[in-house]
Amino acid sequence: MRSLARGLAVIETFDRDHPSLSLAEVARRAGVSRATARRLLHTLVELGYAATDGKRFSLRAKVMSLGYSYMSSLGLIEIAQPVMSDLAAEVHESCSASVMDGHDVVYVARVPSKQRIMSISLTVGTRLPAHCTSMGRVLLAGLPPAALDGFLADGATLSRATDRTVVDPGQLREIVRRTAEQGWAMVDGELELGLISLAAPIRDGAGRVVAALNISSHTSRTSARTAERDLLPPLLRAAQAISRSLGHERA
């Protein structure tokens, strides 16, 4: 178990900003000795999860199979993808689905639009802070009260992405309460100025919120008012359709 934990820690040292690392960098970022890092890295190379030029290491595409095994076990991807494709074609905007992981949302499916909406590229596996994203707020609204209390109590998670980001725990709690009550969330310029997004919950057969579905646009072509009028109804229909396929009878 200890070796497994260290191996996963080594994998997690690589990210968008650090796609290639030296042995010393991996050891430092993973919190292990150089000897342990070397052994784990070479094991990953032998198994096809990593590559090396002799000096630096990087992950290979095979590592995606680890995450895909989890996503496939939910049945969510196969069910959601065609619905999302139809939704994106209907509204001519990007559509994404995500799940909660710690303090972040993690993208598990995405249908991009031809129009760029953010300064960064969003792909399956992208992580974004939950507190200032529409999908994050929908997922927070689905948490048990104790879990939500723990999230809001950790002030370090509530970072300010723009001058519009809500970081006050009390104000955020009220937003989450409102989100749970109305069944959807909208975020306008809190993650990135100009970005506007709507999200709705995806529920399983037990009624639990297991994922969130969103539509994202840019304020140059969509206002909050027009987004609620034109984008929210098809979004809610799509989220309900996916939920029904997962066994949620009341969707």
Side-chain half-sphere CA neighbours of 162 within 13 A: 13
Amino acid at 89: A
User: Strands across the sheet with 127-129, in order?
Assistant: 127-129, 104-111, 94-101, 209-218, 195-203, 185-188
More confident site: 249 or 245: 245
**Rounded to two decimals, what is the model's pTM?**
0.71
Confidence label for 200 from pLDDT (cuts 50, 70 and 90): very high
181/191 Cα distance (integer angstroms) = 23
194/212 Cα distance (integer angstroms) = 21
| Size (the chain), residues | 251
Q: Does the domain formed by 2-59 have CATH 1.10.10.10?
A: yes
User: Strands across the sheet with 20-22, in order?
Assistant: 20-22, 56-59, 50-52
Residue 155 has pLDDT above 80, yes or no: no
Enumerate the domain spans of the chain. Answer: 2-59, 66-245
Element (H, E) at 210: strand 209-218
Q: Does the domain formed by 66-245 have CATH 3.20.20.70?
A: no
- Residue holding tokens 């519009």? 164
- Residue holding tokens 């990953």? 44
Taking only the tens place, the pLDDT of each residue in 51-109 is 999 999 998 867 766 665 555 555 778 889 999 999 999 999 999 999 988 888 989 89
Cβ atoms of residues 114 and 88 within 8 Å:
no
More confident site: 141 or 114: 141
Mean local confidence (pLDDT), 206-218: 92
- Residue 118 is predicted with a pLDDT of 56
- Residue 74 is predicted with a pLDDT of 58
Mean local confidence (pLDDT), 165-181: 94
Calculate the average pLDDT of the chain.
87
Ramachandran angles phi, psi of 170, nearest 5°: -65, -45
Give 42: exposed, middle or buried? Use CB within 10 Å, 0-12, 13-18, 19+.
middle
Neighbours of 22 (CB within 10 A): 12
- Residue 215 is predicted with a pLDDT of 96
